[in-house]
Chain A
Amino acid sequence: MMAFLKLLARNRLALGGLIVMGLVVVLALITPLLPLADPDVTNTAQRFKRPFSDGALLGTDHLGRDLLSRLLWGTRLSLAVGFAAAIIAATLGAAIGIIAGFYGGRTDNIIMRGVDMLMAFPYILLALAIVAALGPGLMNALIAVAAVNIPFFARNIRGITVGIAHKEFVDAARLSGMTDTRIILTEVLPNVIPVIVIAMSTTIGWMILETAGLSFLGLGSQPPQADLGSMLGEARSALITNPHTSVVPGAMILIIVMAINLLGDGVRDALDPRLKSGALSRPMPTTMVKRTGLPPEAKADTLLALRGLKTQFQVKDRIYKAVGGVDLQVNPGECLGVIGESGSGKSVTALSIMGLVASPPGVITGGAVHYKGEDLIGAPYEKLRSLRGDRIAYIFQDPLATLHPLYTVGEQLIEAVRAHHSIDRSKARAHAIDLLKSVRIPNAEVRIDSYPHEMSGGMRQRVGIAMALANEPEVIIADEPTTALDVTVQAQILSLLDDLRRQRGLAIIFITHDFGVVAQLCDRVAVMYAGRIVEEGPTQTVLNAPAHPYTSRLMACVPELGQGRRELAAIPGLPPVVDKLPEGCAFADRCHKATDACRQGNIELVRHGAENMVRCIAPETPAQEASQ
């Protein structure tokens, strides 16, 4: 609740709306206690007194009634009717929407077609029809306004409910023996309430206007009772001669509706979960760079080299050190595997190379990425843009999320080529067909005009690879490209990548959590834990004789085909959270051979054997063995 108010207060306009609305509501509430003239006593001798005259601060109307008193009593009534209509419409609309969305099928169809019919009438006509049938009166106007707004709520809530009704926790509740009614009340409703509140906060102003409209037409509150609409209606005949009688209620309606709408927008933004996660704030085109000290020097003769790369996420007062100083390098024709569990920083490392980490909250705080000796960290956006997808390309895990659903794969491939090379469309299309052939998509001439959803997961990932190859890059960064695929398809994709790098001399950085994949595809492997590399070396030596306890114990965890039924060697505990990393070795708390020395100071990545590096003071293997 406090967090919600804080978020709301950050929005100045919403805060203003809240204050104004609060004042109006307080005034309406204390109206009976104020020393006001009776709003309904007529005194024609005193009619049309100007504002600020004696005894009538806002003047009087055509019957000599005190306008201030009528305004406050009228506001009180209008607010009450508006709120009541909103609550009735929200309750009934939400009930209808939840039932339709939860049961689905025919129930849903019948209810929603009924709602559609209700929406097909112009709202004012419908309200007039309801009032005509029930007779004029404030209560009937309230019913009419509520009824007119039910479809809005029903449709909104149904949409949300359909999503929730198919969630696994609803299935789990069924298996726990809950009845449908109970599931609706205890599982679905609590998840729908924020949406109801949002919908209410944005429509309540509208409902106050609609009630005023009906009263203005004489169908709402009946004389002598005042509400804002009827005050306007009565003032209509004196609009020119005595404008203050219209301006007073008009201004109040304006104030209320403005305040409610500003507040409603603020409430909506504050309750929207995407806002909290920062997804609605537009990220910058490149990751923010705040490096202290001089960036490391480039080493000669490497295609792509990371030196002490540090990337953090700065969220409020917490700093998540996602990447805490990573050194990696890759050369043409080489495949480097980066292996680690979720949260180890392997994906953030990959995205940092081209400045693709979303900022805010991501910040690169140190190190360098040298591409052919040139530092990419802090390079101007234009420079990065010309390299992205051209010299250094990415393949992501989920091709359905990375391909645009509304364009054919051909259009997207052509765009990828033409973003970097000015060639005409027919040539680009021919090139796109060649690309699809090169990733072995059968019938490429036809498939080029398919939409992503028309292809299977394996085919989409081939398109993803084709897109990465479009401009013949030198480096491909593949972030778990086969994790979402079936094993038989994975085998196809891996062999394709392997062929491509051998034929084209591609350098591949292959990020994965699967040792089997690394063993089959990669020449070298780097193992990451809590944002740092703990071991690096040729795949053979690392996998056959892992030097870091984490690597060896992680490998022991993985069941391997052909070993039969058995107990697995689990690593106890969980990886540390990267906003409070322990001193010394991050793995010490889970390590069976940790000593006090492991928990002190910075443990360096040191050479271990001829080609391997390890970040451990008590490696599993002696250095000589590793070098053999």
Chain B
Amino acid sequence: MTTALKLTGLSKSFPVGKRLFGPPKALVRAVQPLSLAVEAGETLGIVGESGCGKSTLARMLVGLLPPSSGTIEINGEPLDNADPAFFGRKIQYVFQDPISSLNPRKTIRQIMDAPLKHLHNMPAATRADRIREIFSAVNLREEFLDRYPHEFSGGQAQRIGIARALAADARILILDEPVSALDVSVQAQVLNLLADLKERFGLTYLFISHDLAVVEAVSDRVAVLYFGSVVEVGPADEVFAHPKHPYTKLLADSAPVVGRPLTAPEGRETELPDPLNPPAGCAFRARCAFASDQCGSEAPRLEGQSDGVRVACYHPIAD
């Protein structure tokens, strides 16, 4: 197996309180320095709640946001230029909101044409053939090509979004909450389509979601994000069956499951830490039942455990 995507020390800070001249008043760390590797043909699930930095991470990976530090390597080649057109041929993005990711004033054909024309300089005749091919791969009828985005349901629009990403002929797709705006019956259709496409075209996925069950159903490996850092990463079945980080366990226990009685798995008033005033040490400390003095002094690093799982915790939960 080769490494398709490798992130080393990637981080992003946003300035707060911009001034016309001079430095900003403060910096908010949306993504702490983070290192991850995705193997070719793998699906890496990224789980986290709102504000954990998963969308910022995704936007950095496709070049829509320049990272504050760190490097991105695709197939061993570093990507040091923040030009989406250059990124676009190697790595593509599927958006969360399928309707708003399509320009309301363009036909689907114009939307599909763009990556072929601008990324691959394809002549018109070849483009038409290629679009037909891709459309049949995502089970869309060709007559849709001359319609406008508002004529489609969410599920159809998401297939169009996936088709556009495929048209760029990139081998790596970043799927940013691709099904969270869809109804459950349609969600399953899209997830199955994604699995099928991956098989057919040998794709590598980075699947970002807040829904643990969905991530579990599609991922080979999972990384859990909290407050901009990876707190646990490992094989999907291992991470969900035996969560080692207290936050992963909290997430798994909070998901409503048929047949499990209603419990509030933690104190009912806890909130996320303030990004403008980040806590010292482990960011999860205030919500954690196992917190000790050590947790307050220095943030724990990701360290290897059994079964290929790595956890950033001084007191990982034993089985």
Contact = CB atoms under 8 A, between A and B. Distances in A.
Interface of A: 106, 109, 167-169, 171-179, 182, 186-187, 190-191, 341-342, 440-442, 456-459, 486-492, 494-496, 498, 513-517, 519-521, 543, 553-555, 557-572, 574-575
Contacts of B93: 171-172, 175
B84 interface: yes
A106 B24 CA distance: 13
A490 B213 contact: no
B280 interface: no
Nearest to B174: A175
A57 B237 CA distance: 94
A486 B101 contact: no
Given A486-B210, A567-B192, A570-B192, A178 B118 contact: yes
Q: Which of A169, A492, A496 has the most CB of B within 10 A?
A: A169
Nearest to A110: B20
Contact of A172 (B95, B184, B254, B263): B95
B269 interface: yes
B153 A574 contact: yes
18 contacts: A106-B20, A173-B114, A175-B88, A175-B93, A175-B168, A177-B117, A488-B265, A488-B266, A488-B270, A495-B268, A520-B261, A521-B262, A557-B187, A559-B191, A559-B217, A562-B216, A565-B216, A565-B217
Contacts of B260: 519-520
A456 B271 contact: yes
Contacts of B168: 175-177
Contact of A554 (B92, B185, B217, B265): B185
Interface in B80-138: 84-85, 87-89, 92-93, 95-97, 100-106, 111, 114-115, 117-119
A542 B45 CA distance: 32
Given A176-B164, A187-B103, A492-B264, A561 B185 contact: no
Given A171-B64, A567-B192, A570-B192, A494 B262 contact: yes
B104 A191 contact: yes
Contacts of B23: none
A100 to B, nearest CB: 14
B50 interface: yes
Contacts of B253: 491
B318 interface: no
Contacts of B212: 487, 561
B230 interface: no
Contacts of A491: 253-254, 256, 263-266
Nearest to A520: B262
Given A486-B49, A513-B184, A572-B189, A558 B259 contact: no
A561 B188 contact: no
Contacts of B214: 559
Interface in B228-269: 236-237, 240-241, 250-266, 268-269
Contacts of B216: 559, 561-565
A56 B186 CA distance: 76
Contacts of B62: 175
B241 A562 contact: yes
B67 interface: no
B82 to A, nearest CB: 11
Given A554-B185, A561-B216, A563-B216, A519 B258 contact: yes
A488 B257 contact: no
Given A488-B266, A516-B256, A562-B241, A169 B185 contact: no
Given A172-B164, A177-B88, A574-B153, A490 B192 contact: no
A330 to B, nearest CB: 19
A559 to B, nearest CB: 4
A357 B227 CA distance: 40
Contacts of A177: 84-85, 88-89, 114-115, 117-119, 168
B269 A441 contact: yes
Contacts, number: 215
Contacts of B155: 574
B258 A487 contact: no
Interface string B161-177: 10010001000000000
B64 A174 contact: yes
B77 interface: no
B145 interface: no
A560 B100 contact: no
B219 interface: yes
B210 A168 contact: no
A341 B183 contact: yes
Interface of A, helix, strand, loop or mixed by DSSP: helix
A176 B118 contact: yes
Nearest to A562: B240
A71 to B, nearest CB: 42
Contacts of B101: 168-169, 171-172
Contacts of B272: 456
A568 B191 contact: yes
Interface in B194-238: 195, 210-214, 216-220, 236-237
Interface in B28-58: 49-50
Nearest to B262: A520
A442 B286 CA distance: 15
B257 A561 contact: yes
A570 B268 contact: no
Given A177-B114, A563-B216, A570-B189, A495 B263 contact: yes
The 9 A-B residue pairs with the shortest CB-CB distance, nearest first, are A516-B256, A177-B118, A570-B188, A495-B264, A176-B114, A486-B49, A177-B119, A177-B85, A559-B217
Given A168-B100, A441-B269, A495-B264, A516 B258 contact: yes
A175 B257 contact: no
Contact of B105 (A191, A486, A565): A191
Q: Which of B168, B189, B258 has the most CB of A within 10 A?
A: B258
A561 B252 contact: yes
Contacts of B266: 488, 491-492
Nearest to B190: A570
Contacts of A498: 262
Given A555-B258, A558-B184, 19 more contacts: A173-B114, A175-B62, A176-B164, A177-B118, A441-B269, A456-B271, A488-B250, A492-B264, A492-B268, A513-B183, A519-B256, A520-B261, A559-B191, A560-B213, A565-B217, A565-B219, A567-B195, A570-B185, A574-B155
Given A557-B187, A565-B236, A570-B188, A490 B95 contact: no
Nearest to A171: B64
Contact of B268 (A106, A172, A440, A562): A440
B108 to A, nearest CB: 12
A576 to B, nearest CB: 12
A182 B85 CA distance: 13
